[in-house]
Structure 1
Amino acid sequence: MFDCHVHAAPDIVPRIGDDADVLDAYRSDGFHGFVLKGHYESTVGRARALSRGGMPVLGGITLNQAAGGINPAAVAAALAAGGRVVWMPTADAHTQERAGLPRLCDRERRLDRRVFAVPPVDPDAQTAADLVLALIADHDAVLATGHLSGPECAWLLDRARRFGIRRVLLTHPSYTVPALTPAEIAELAEAGAHVEITAYQLLHQPGCTAAALAAVARAAGDRLVLSSDAGQPDSPPPPQALLRLVDELAGQGLDRGALEAAASTVPARLFLA
């Protein structure tokens, strides 16, 4: 199994354990590797230190305010240091603010409430976004759409094709943000994007059910990627969270072999091959 979305301490919110604790959990459960995500800092150095233990651990950068938003310089530095993924804005996306979901500026009131977007929501961001995409293409890294809206995901996918990006992941598109429908997700999958479903959605997303996630999985087809997005103290350990997601979706009549591939060989190929 290969979990392409997990959180660990240090972070600005409590986590179930630190980097080494999470590594030990995956090793104990026989996982092949994982991708360490942080909303507010690059995880490239942390992942590199963990991978010395023999298990592939990958990191990247999320383009929130702490990274300067859609900031090509931050992306260039992260990718040059070995980063494998660039997440578009998450906690500081305009969708996050509109939905009233947590942001760093909620904790530190002296920060402004600036939000970030790409075309067509913010046409002025195209020059910076295009350079970010060019850098991702240069390094054959993964472009993850973050919490951006459906029209922005479609724009990113179109631009990714123009820049020759081979690896695009829709970040939990059925989550509260961006809340895409199965039909919208199917259209983006048919255009070449992989589609993520997370255990976090099953465990914590208001109104989310295994049946709703199964509809998303069917829309994704063979481009489905399952991850944990775990690390919260009130979630199971990340490996167990991902395995639970597989079980719940299998209980909805989906093929278990295909689900296990979506939690192992498909994301490993997306991030490692």
Structure 2
Amino acid sequence: MFDVHVHAAPDVLQRIGYDDQIGASYIAAGYTGFVLKAHHESTVGRASALGRSSGLEVVGGIALNRAVGGINPAAVLSALSTGGRVVWFPTADAHTQESARLPRLGDLDARLDRSALSVPPVMAADDSAAKDVAFVLDLIAEHDAVLCTGHVSGAECRWLLDQALARGIGRFLLTHPSYTVPGMEVREIAELAERGARVEITAYQLFHQPGMTAARLAAVARAAGPRLVLSSDAGQPDSPEPPAALEQLIAALAAEGLDPGWLRDAAGDTPGELVLP
């Protein structure tokens, strides 16, 4: 089993445990490894240190939010050149996050402005920042890294997939597309899966997303087909420990009639092949 979406302390938000404590829970559960994610800093160094000390495959990456300079090619080059494997397009600082009134760094200090980030087609194609988006996409392709869509809108996810296919980026993950952000419909998710996108469903959605049910997540899983990826997106104090959260997601989807073996592949072999070199 390999979890592609895990949060740990230290972080801006409170977490259930520090990196080493989260790692110990995965060892106890018999996992091979996980991807360590943070919204406001690169996790590459933390992941490397934990991997060396624990024996797990711990993968780091960078989320392109304002704390790292937004969609910042220099930060991406640094992360990928030091062993990072995953680049998330804007999450906590995406314009969708602001519109949905979901947590942002600016919530901690009113002196920070509320500007938010986007990519085309929300961002104007002639915006000077569009050059940085193109540079980041080229870096992901050159390093054979994983492009995760983050919290940008469905239209932006579609544009990112178009760009990934044009550049030969083979590792592309729709970040929880049925979550509040981006809030994509099942038919849209199915279309992008057919074009090559992997589709993430998270245990966080089951525990915390308003109105979400196991039946609705099962419909997304069926739309994803063989491109389904299951993750925990756990680490919150009000969620189970991440390995237990992922097991509960698998059990809930199996109770909806989905094949347990396929679900375990979606939480093991499939994400491992997506992320690991």
Runs of 5+ consecutive residues of structure 2 not aligned to the other structure: none
Partner of residue 144, structure 2: 140
**TM-aligned CA deviation for residue 17 of structure 1:** 0.3
Distance 2:229 2:206 in 1: 15
Task: Give yes or no for the alignment of 1:173 onto 2:177.
Answer: yes
Distance 1:38 1:105 in 2: 16
Partner of residue 69, structure 2: 68
- In the TM superposition, structure 1's runs of 4+ consecutive aligned residues that sit over 4 Å from their partners are none
**TM-aligned CA deviation for residue 126 of structure 1:** 2.3
Structure 1 residues 202-217: aligned runs within 5 Å: 202-217=206-221
**TM-aligned CA deviation for residue 194 of structure 1:** 0.2
Partner of residue 15, structure 1: 15
**TM-aligned CA deviation for residue 163 of structure 1:** 1.2
Query: C-alpha deviations, 1:135-194, integer Å up to 9, x for none?
Result: 001110000000010110010001011111110000000000000011000011111110
Structure 1 residues 102-117: aligned runs within 5 Å: 102-117=103-118
Partner of residue 36, structure 1: 36
SS in 2 for 1:17: coil
Letter in 1 for 2:257: G
Task: Give yes or no for the alignment of 1:194 onto 2:195.
Answer: no
**TM-aligned CA deviation for residue 54 of structure 1:** 1.3
**TM-aligned CA deviation for residue 109 of structure 1:** 1.2
Task: Give yes or no for the alignment of 1:164 onto 2:168.
Answer: yes
The alignment's C-alpha RMSD in Å is 0.6
Query: C-alpha deviations, 1:77-114, integer Å up to 9, x for none?
Result: 11011100000000000000001111000111111111
Partner of residue 232, structure 1: 236
SS in 2 for 1:183: helix
Distance 2:94 2:14 in 1: 22
Partner of residue 79, structure 1: 80
Using structure 1 for the length normalisation, give the TM-score.
0.99
Residue identity over aligned pairs, in percent, reads 66
Query: C-alpha deviations, 1:35-64, integer Å up to 9, x for none?
Result: 000000000000000111211000000000
Distance 1:37 1:67 in 2: 14
Distance 2:195 2:120 in 1: 18
Alignment partner of 1:182 out of 178, 182, 186:
186
Distance 1:110 1:215 in 2: 43
Distance 1:109 1:41 in 2: 20
Distance 2:138 2:168 in 1: 8
**TM-aligned CA deviation for residue 67 of structure 1:** 1.0
Structure 1 residues 246-261: aligned runs within 5 Å: 246-261=250-265
Runs of 5+ consecutive residues of structure 1 not aligned to the other structure: none
Give the number of aligned pairs.
273
Letter in 1 for 2:8: A
